[in-house]
Amino acid sequence: MEIDVFATLNGIPDEAINNKTTIVVDVLRATTTITVALAAGCLEVIPVLSPEEAIEMRGRLEDERVLLGGERNAVKIPGFDLGNSPLEYTAEVVAGKRLIMTTTNGTRAIRRAAGGRQVVLGAMINAPAVARHVAAATTDITIVCAGTRDRFSLEDFLTAGLIVAELTDQGDFSLRDGALTARDYYYSHHSDLATAMKASFHGRLLAELGLEADMDFCAQVGTSDLVPVYSGGVIKKVG
Amino acid sequence: MEIDVFATLNGIPDEAINNKTTIVVDVLRATTTITVALAAGCLEVIPVLSPEEAIEMRGRLEDERVLLGGERNAVKIPGFDLGNSPLEYTAEVVAGKRLIMTTTNGTRAIRRAAGGRQVVLGAMINAPAVARHVAAATTDITIVCAGTRDRFSLEDFLTAGLIVAELTDQGDFSLRDGALTARDYYYSHHSDLATAMKASFHGRLLAELGLEADMDFCAQVGTSDLVPVYSGGVIKKVG
């Protein structure tokens, strides 16, 4: 089996998605936050592309359990129940709820990866669990970094490298250049992932907004065993 | 001024190309070979997308000085005068000639970068010269890695990192994540670039074809002062 990593979601050839196991990474903060929400008892997360689509869907679902979450430019969307900080998604707030979510890059990346045979969401907090889950896959594995507005995201590439490292610890894989480079990059920063993350464009933006605690949270490795899987337009925990 | 690096040529937002200084990198081997050819006295290089377009253009130009060069799957194209090895492009062969060239990834990348205010070709052999040339640019700098069939190329990212390192040695630049990560990756491999390059997908392909000498040549830093510039459909040396 082969592993490749794509640094941005645009321009990925269809052959790298179709019938592959795809792992979507938007570590700051969508895939971290969704993992946390599902671990806290949220029933499902419905990713949508725009705030308008989220509001329209809430109206259509007519379900009191629905919450709206997400951000634009890292800030909570007006009229939404929740922003995009994993620290907001506690059991008190989300257990037994359905979440409609839209984020700048993460939801677009999930949609792009949707042609995969299996679509999994990866972050640092669940990287070992994601690797254990997909290591038995009988298809090649494609890791899709959400990036930042079609540009390279340091923190997503670093997370992709961590997932590749976890996978190659567990089995024999052939690594394409993206995977080889990402793993190498992770190895050179594994002793202090939070510092590396804070040097990124997105990290500096979150720091300006006073969100260092979010980054420290997102930089923890393996604190969750939850693996979110996207299927039929909805994200649920695996199994 | 800002520097960013894109790992593949697809999906680059137009705003990162238009009115920017763009540097195209296809170190194995197109941008290395074109640099060598121009340094050896080749008058100009005309990049075209397909072998058919190259043959058609030769017929149309009716110029005895025209040579055809290029590869598909790293192998010389039938009927062409030259392949894509920099070692073939000696003064005896190319001085005073015009070269029509087509390569799998390099010529596509040059076309993609063509909207830049200034379009320069970069490799390891001319990285310091390229950095000196563009350091005075009054626009942001976008480095476009050709990649391999729309996938990440380790060797192009490494070369992009070298160019970023040369630039930041010469002046103050703000680095976007792609540039920051590429430079970091270069720093962790700068003591043995040839070995890093040979571990790449493309490197392994060239090794199978017995082309290690090409890679050792392409991994030399700063052996050429020539800066190729693409303008009006033609690549010439700067100045």
pLDDT, one tens digit per residue, over A27-79 is 999 999 999 999 999 999 999 999 999 999 999 999 999 999 999 988 999 99
* pLDDT (0 to 100) of residue A50: 95
Q: Which residues, other chains included, contact B165 with Cβ-Cβ below 8 Å and sequence gap of 6+?
A: B183, B186, B187, B190
The answer, yes or no, to whether ipTM is higher than 0.90 is yes
Look at residue B138 and tell me if it is in a domain. yes
Question: For residue A110, how many other CB atoms are within 10 A of its CB?
Answer: 30
Measured CA to CA in angstroms, residue B185 lies from A145, A188, B38, B160 at distances of 18, 9, 29, 10
Contact B10 A5 (CB under 8 A): no
Take residue A110 and report the two structure tokens written for it.
């999930």
HEC letters along B191-210: HHHHHHHHCCHHHHHHHHCC
The answer, yes or no, to whether residue A11 has pLDDT greater than 90, is: no
B63 contacts B10 by C-beta, under 8 angstroms? no
Q: Structural domain of residue B46, as residue ranges?
A: 2-229
Q: Which of B4, B13, B157 has its CB closest to that of A181?
A: B157
pLDDT at B99: 98
Percentage of residues in chain A with pLDDT exceeding 70? 100
Q: Which of A106, A60, A103, A62 is nearest to A80 (CA)?
A: A103
Name the residue among B7, B23, B44, B59 with its Cα closest to residue B232.
B44
Chain A positions touching B190 (Cβ under 8 A) are none
Interface size, chain A vs chain B, as Cβ–Cβ contacts under 8 Å? 95
Question: What DSSP designation does B176 have?
Answer: P
Q: Which run of H or E residues covers position B104?
A: none
The single-letter code of the amino acid at A71 is E
CATH at residue B168:
3.90.1560.10
The CA distance from B177 to B6, in Å, is: 10
Structure tokens given for A153: 């995201």
pTM of the model: 0.94
Paired tokens of A203: 């990290």
**CA pair distance B156, B89, nearest whole angstrom:** 21
Q: B52 Cβ partners below 8 Å, 6+ apart?
A: none
Spell out the residues 6+ positions from residue B172 whose beta carbon is closer than 8 angstroms to its own.
none
Answer whether residue B10 is part of any domain: yes
Q: Do A152 and B7 touch (CB under 8 A)?
A: yes
Is the pLDDT score of A129 beyond 90? yes
Our CA angle for A91, A95, A99, nearest 5°, is 115
CA distances from A166 to A40, A135, A148, A216, B94 (A): 25, 9, 24, 20, 50
- A150 to B180: CB separation less than 8 angstroms, yes or no: no
**Cα of B175 to nearest chain A Cα, Å:** 9
How many helices (DSSP H) and strands (DSSP E) are in chain B?
10, 11
- Assess contact for B109 and B24: CB atoms under 8 A: yes
Cβ separation A151–B176 shorter than 8 A = yes
- Distance (Å) from the C-alpha of residue B182 to the closest C-alpha of chain A? 9
Q: Which phi and psi angles does A184 have, rounded to 5°?
A: -60, -40
Return the SS3 of B131. helix
Helix (H, G, I), strand (E, B) or coil at B151: strand
Based on the structure, what is the number of domains in chain A?
1
The C-alpha atoms of residue A68 and residue A88 are separated, in whole angstroms, by 12
The answer to whether A34 and A86 have CB atoms below 8 angstroms apart is no
Q: Is residue B234 part of a domain?
A: no
Q: A5 - beta bridge partners?
A: A143
Give average pLDDT by consecutive 10-residue segment, chain B, 239 residues. 94 94 97 98 96 96 96 92 97 98 91 93 98 92 94 97 97 96 97 96 95 97 98 93
Q: pLDDT for A167-218, tens place per residue?
A: 999 989 999 999 999 999 999 999 999 999 999 999 999 999 999 999 999 9
B238 found inside a domain: no
